[in-house]
Structure 1
């Protein structure tokens, strides 16, 4: 996953602040922002994941790919898609919050970000079940 986090900005020689905009403690990397950051963990934990899969990073500093594979490995195919979608939406919500802090100088608490993620997922689910081409459109 290539996000323009502080470590990637440094590789390009672009100006940046090296510290995570969410926790204000650790260096901002893709691994930190998406998995290891306390803010991101609270967003995932706050989320009502229907109890279908683990959302907390396992101990031992696994990579994002290892964690993701482990988090969904025990699920049936349909639930794997649902869980992966929820993971993607939560990471997207965290990324949007990070960018709001960088570019708009605004900030939300993790619970508010989780609520926005839930809303995004609900809207997508609604659109999926109300496809205009299937006769169920409102």
Structure 2
């Protein structure tokens, strides 16, 4: 995640729980960047959860690059929605 977020999100250190890592990832950022990073974290967690459910309940799996594409697609939809909202 650190690579494809262009360094906005740092990889968690060993032994750090998710909540602490999540909060520290957002804590010192300016408001506009904080929103962007929060969205990255949420869409990533959401798509990992959906992939987990797909495996458990449908006995189907997607490759990591396909899950990544789903994250990017949902982020693109969010950006388009925000643009449309701001255009009105």
TM-score, normalised by the number of residues in structure 2? 0.86
Cα pair distance change 1:94/1:79, threshold 3 Å: same
Q: How does 1:33-48 map to 2 (within 5 A)?
A: 44=1, 48=4
Residue of structure 1 in register with 2:54 after alignment: 100
TM-score, normalised by the number of residues in structure 1? 0.57
CA distance in 2 between counterparts of 1:97 and 1:125 reads 23
Cα pair distance change 1:133/1:70, threshold 3 Å: closer
1:51 is aligned to 2:4: no
4+ runs deviating over 4 angstroms: none
Unaligned 5+ segments in structure 1 are: 1-43
Offset from partner CA, 1:42-84 (integer Å, 9 cap, x none): xx357x2133231x1212x112111112222332121111101
Q: How does 1:1-138 map to 2 (within 5 A)?
A: 44=1, 48-54=4-10, 56-59=11-14, 61-131=15-85, 134=88
CA distance in 2 between counterparts of 1:58 and 1:132 reads 37
Cα pair distance change 1:80/1:132, threshold 3 Å: closer
Aligned length: 88
CA distance in 1 between counterparts of 2:29 and 2:16 reads 20
- Greater C-alpha radius of gyration: 1
- Residues 55 and 61, structure 2, Cα contact 8 Å, conserved in 1: yes
Which structure: greater helix fraction? 2
CA distance in 1 between counterparts of 2:20 and 2:64 reads 24
